[in-house]
Amino acid sequence: MCIRDRINKENKTMSLISSHYHQLYTPEDAAVVFIDHQPQMTFGVANINRADLINNVTLLAKAAKLFQVPTVITAVETEGFSGYVWPQLLDIFPGQHVIERTSMNSWDSDEFRKAIKATGRKNILLTGLWTEVCVTWPAIEMIGDGYNIYVVEDCCGATSKDAQKAALSRIVQAGGTRLTTIGALLEFQRDWKNKEHYDALMNLLKQQGGAYGVGVEYAYTMVHHAPQSALSPQVVKHDA
């Protein structure tokens, strides 16, 4: 192969790899994957507060359900080592089959690969424990197989901050994309004129959206004078 042909081939390859960077995903062309959100794996997480991690994962899961985005849940060595998937996650998708594996790399599992293919989606949002192994390895191979991989990094836990940083760097070098929970779910909404999921999404954010959610509650009640979200609203008594 001459130098010109090789350069043309490399340019074509780079164009295919980078094309998804110039497009936004939608609920109709994306899927969300939850990998190994299990107790034993959670114990080793050191890059993020674990309560924040659980909050982020469940918020993303609820948003995926709200927008009817296909989800895949998988677990490794459940009864032999890792424990059952978090109940907070299981209860969002009651009765959904959890794909059991022995390999640390989900992409080694035929059942997992079939489940991903069955979604019919090429834009895959990956979350999981641990980032440096159980997220990075399938991410790299899925990119190689033509999937656009988005790693929701604050829904991922690593054994150290350095491990998280190195893992994300490796994924990006392979062609993956980094994003965070709020950005991920707002990309499903895209336009505030789309009212189908607006109120339900706002309710999710008010409950689990951190400072953003608190701000939404404040704007609703204090600026727009909407009812409080609390089931038992606060009543301020004024002196006569």
Instruction: Note whether 166 and 193 are within 8 A (CB).
Output: no
Instruction: Note whether 128 and 36 are within 8 A (CB).
Output: yes
Question: Which helix (H) or strand (E) segment is 151 a member of?
Answer: strand 148-157
CA distance 18 to 53: 29
Q: Which of 2, 134, 155, 156 is catalytic?
A: 134
Supply the DSSP string of 34-96, one letter for each residue: EE---HHHHHT--SS-HHHHHHHHHHHHHHHHHTT--EEEEEESIIIII-SPPHHHHTTSTTP
Catalytic site residue 134?
yes
CA distance 139 to 144: 9
Provide the 3-class DSSP secondary structure of residue 158.
Answer: coil
How large is the angle between the packed helices 181-189 and 198-208, nearest 10 degrees? 170
Instruction: Note whether 143 and 149 are within 8 A (CB).
Output: yes
Catalytic residues: 134
